[in-house]
Structure 1
């Protein structure tokens, strides 16, 4: 009896390993994004310098017509503005990268002192405005997605357009009229009343952020007064960004509701509200995080008008005062700092987005 040799069964082909994209990795991504900050800041600071120099030297711009020709020439020579502009440019770059923004012409104070003193007020206002934007924009955006193509959805979209299109100074004046003049429930301007500011100034090493300093006093009246003064400026500035968040959340939640895994959850009997609030909400937040960096620039630009409207003494308020005084050294320092803040903020937002969504790294 002969046996017939049989061939062993062919082994199933192993699936090829998915190759990781070259150049990926969080560490490399962070390094590349960090290195990009340097040319970004260099370009922004250079643009500020050359745009300011189109008006001539700062001494003539600020004091021209108020000093004699000899006095003006003496001040220009003492400040070094009679040297070639290219020499002044490289000297200015060296000073900026060491934290020296020069001395104001109108008040004879170091610009770095102006930045630290009033920068805390602007940071506090921007923080409160972001809270308003999140509290208003994200829930209303989810509601608009849940009630899409209905009357409520249309109303919320119109509201978002009005928030973004209304000038900050107009909404600020409107809030002051309603809540301060008609109903008299909120302060009309400033960061705190006189008695509260006196207690804040008596603190050892005040931070300049009134909320933190008020908490340090432990006085409920001071805390309430500081928070009450922050409501209207934060509302006026925050609604500007809330309109952007509302439309962005609505669009991304609706897009996420059409994905396969949401359809699978819907087929299991999950109701629409739970689909929006649980399954489609988190993926829709990723675009929000990436847009925050751009919105910080919008907040800082809006802070100039908001601080002027409410006499909130921050960098925006002082920027207008220095422009009126033609103190272009101070203006140059403030604008350069705002440019640096925007660049660094975008870097931080990019890192957060990469941590949340690994696809961003590649």
Structure 2
């Protein structure tokens, strides 16, 4: 196991290097001038040239890339060209909001997706199976931004059950750390703030969880049906094992292996792919921050945040491989 982890960690070096080159190249191919965005369209040429020189934008691309990588290796993700704030500090301020939203969506997807997939496999070809897989197909096909707007229209505008945007009303300001509003409000014993933060979280979590829920449900059903045909499952049934024991102990544990792959990568995907949800619900997370940086041609934010997302994906792959051995000890990592 130790040798496997060491090999995987070594493989992350060329992977992240390739990602850094790709992102850096693509960012500089995007039309637009950061200096022009900062100073405005009516700025004179002298001011634009001075600002480009100050930000190092007039240097050759190779020199800019080497300077960028030198700062990365020293733990410096750069300074925002627009706001002048540290990219790392800005990311850490917004990351708890994205993580809170992603974990909530993943929890919904796991609970509903697993339960639906298991019941659909047990009741194969039944009305429940057909309806649940039909809804799963619709969930995969449904655009997140459209679903978010529909949820806002019905549950916020018409019914008034949930807030339209944001994470917390100003009336429930939390004194102290405000990274994870649900946890912080509970620690502070501020139940009104907790319920308000939960109400703000419901609709974005549902919108973000729709596609993962559908994928997990379909994957669980398919994997369960395959395992149910195995000899050891039929042997357990012939021995008179209780149906719940056959499903949960003999079948589900082995069926979870491919599902674990999906769930592990899905968390990384949710962290990186919550851009549409955060934009729709004005959620102050990393995704919305990256969209604003892209509109403003803020190169350091785009490059560094993309590199962090790549690190998250690599880490998720590593965790999934380790979980394989925990779920099924017969798997040997080499």
TM-score > 0.5 by shorter chain: yes
Aligned length: 332
The superposition leaves residues 73-121 of structure 1 with CA deviations (integer Å, 9 ceiling, x where unpaired) of 1111122222221111111112123332222122121111210111111
Partner residue in 2 for 1:51: 26
Separation (CA, whole Å) in 2 of partners of 1:301 and 1:173: 21
Displacement, 1:296? 2.7
Q: For residues 182 and 349 of structure 1, do their structure 2 counterparts lie closer, same or farther at Cα, with a shift above 3 Å needed?
A: same
Alignment partner of 1:158 out of 93, 111, 134 = 134
Contact 2:96/2:180, CA 8 A, preserved across alignment: yes
Instruction: Tell me which residue corresponds to 1:339.
Output: 310
SS of the equivalent of 1:83 reads: coil
Q: CA separation of 1:46/1:61 partners in 2, compared to 1, >3 Å: closer, same or farther?
A: farther
- Separation of aligned partners in 2, 1:195 and 1:212: 18
Structure-1 separation of matches of 2:236 and 2:191: 49
Cα distance in 2 for partners of 1:304, 1:253 equals 33
Which residue does the alignment assign to 2:189?
Answer: 218
* Alignment counterpart, residue 100 of structure 2, candidates 124, 138, 149: 124
Deviation at 1:273, TM superposition (A): 5.1
Residue aligning to 2:37: 62
Which residue is equivalent to 1:16?
none
> Mapping of 1:1-362 within 5 angstroms?
26-55=1-30, 59-60=34-35, 62-63=37-38, 65-196=41-172, 198=173, 200=174, 202-203=175-176, 206-270=177-241, 272=243, 274-358=245-329, 359-362=331-334
How many angstroms apart in 2 are the aligned matches of 1:302 and 1:56? Answer: 23
**Structure-2 change in CA distance of 1:52 and 1:331 (3 Å):** same
Would you identify which runs of 4 or more consecutive aligned residues in structure 1 move more than 6 Å?
none
1:33: how far off? 1.4
Deviation at 1:271, TM superposition (A): 5.6
Deviation at 1:301, TM superposition (A): 4.3
- TM-score between both structures, scaled by the size of structure 1: 0.86
CA contact 1:62–1:105 (8 Å) conserved in 2: no
Deviates more, 1:57-66 or 1:340-349: 57-66
Q: How far apart are the structure 2 equivalents of 1:360 and 1:67?
A: 63
Distance 2:243 2:50 in 1: 75
Shift of 1:207: 5.0
Please give the per-residue CA displacement for 1:29-54, whole angstroms capped at 9, x wherever unaligned.
Answer: 11111212222211112211111112
Deviation at 1:342, TM superposition (A): 1.7
Q: What is the rounded CA distance, in whole Å, between the counterparts of 1:59 and 1:309 in structure 2?
A: 26
Taking the aligned partners of 1:342 and 1:263, their CA distance within structure 2 comes to: 38
Unaligned regions of 5+ residues in structure 1, if any? 1-25
Please give the root-mean-square deviation of Cα atoms over the aligned residues, in Å. 1.9
Q: 1:313 to 1:104 in 2, by over 3 A?
A: same
Q: Offset at 1:270?
A: 3.8
Worse-matched range after superposition: 228-237 or 96-105: 96-105
| Contact residue 133 and residue 242 of structure 1 kept, 8 A | yes
| TM score, norm. by length of structure 2 | 0.93
Structure showing greater Rg:
1
